Amino acid sequence: MEYRKLGPSGTIVSVHCLGAMTFGDEADEATSFRLMDDFFAAGGNFIDTADVYSAGVSEEIVGRWLKARPTEARQAVVATKGRFPMGSGPNDLGLSRRHLGEALDASLKRLGVERIDLYQMHAWDALTPIEETLRFLDDAVSAGKIAYYGFSNYVGWHIAKASEIAKARGYSRPVTLQPQYSLLVRDIELEIVDACLDAGLGLMPWSPLGGGWLSGKYKRDQMPSGATRLGENPNRGMEAYGPRNAEARTWNVIGAVEDVAKSHGVSMAQVALAWLAARPAVTSVILGARTPAQLADNLRAADLRLADEAMERLTAASAPTPPDYPYGIQGVAQRHRKLVGGR
């Protein structure tokens, strides 16, 4: 297992992070324990959950596992999130000092820990001043309740504004961003990746297999069925499958992944994960396995190094088509500058 720094911090995490969104829902407690056991046995040390996952049950399962596995618990780097509703009241959500204070204390209790290693804002809150959120997080670091904090689902200007305000006011700085990112979803490269590089944030991509598409489980013009997320939910299957199936780019990407997988003698999922782990600013790729077999296959990507030709083919096949302006040819040309006749 490869290890990397958690963004600009000094904490070291595995290149794969075990996502616990399925715990208490698609994976019962026994299966969740098995997934965590297998992940740590393979050298992983990073777990990501959230208070909203299974309405707190995911955090409780992780907490019981940490208590039952003291050796692993000493090595574990635990991340969770707050922001989304955990009740029906008007203050039971958001990034206000009031809600985050309650949410953080509840997460600490469910996880059974005195400090959370990485506390993430699950999404931007347009109603709460960012200064209020950042001051709360700085206070939480000073109080020893969290070691670091990060963001999730933020866009470029959110990242830039929050990072610069934290810097200007002398607050603890954010260390990570958790966005959706895969060979099928690369739009964060238009601006968000650059914002993270500028601010020094490490990326923790979620849905690295594009909801299972990059593992090869879905076929062209064939509605999903059987033991797949889309197959088990026909209504959601039709809604999610149709638009992606209709895009030529989807099948160009899947075809490239399949060819590279065959040439390397590995699974399609391993190829997609290895490509993502090699992208700029990526700290740790979140694996959202539902079964031990899925996790075992995904973990093999930790040691996979794709040939340069394979990386180039995947990158070219999956290149997003930017809008004409400001991210297309015209906008890039306007921002481009090069010294002529000198250094």
Residues 6+ apart with CB under 8 A from 314: 183, 253, 256, 257, 260, 271, 275, 306
* Structure tokens belonging to residue 7: 């963004």
Cβ pair 149, 120 in contact under 8 A: yes
Cβ pair 167, 134 in contact under 8 A: no
Q: What is the separation of C-alpha 265 from the centre of its chain, rounded to a whole number of angstroms? A: 27
Task: Enumerate the β-bridge partners of residue 286.
Answer: 17
DSSP E strands, the chain = 3-5, 12-14, 16-19, 46-48, 77-82, 116-121, 146-152, 176-178, 202-203, 285-287
Cβ pair 218, 212 in contact under 8 A: yes
* 53 is a catalytic site residue: yes
SS3 label, residue 208: coil
Give the closest residue to 237 by CA, choosing from 215, 214, 211.
211
Q: What are phi and psi of 263, to 5 degrees?
A: -70, -25
Q: What is the separation of C-alpha 114 from the centre of its chain, rounded to a whole number of angstroms? A: 24
Eight-class DSSP state of 235:
H
Name the active-site residue from 3, 53, 181, 241. Answer: 53
- Cite the active site residues: 53
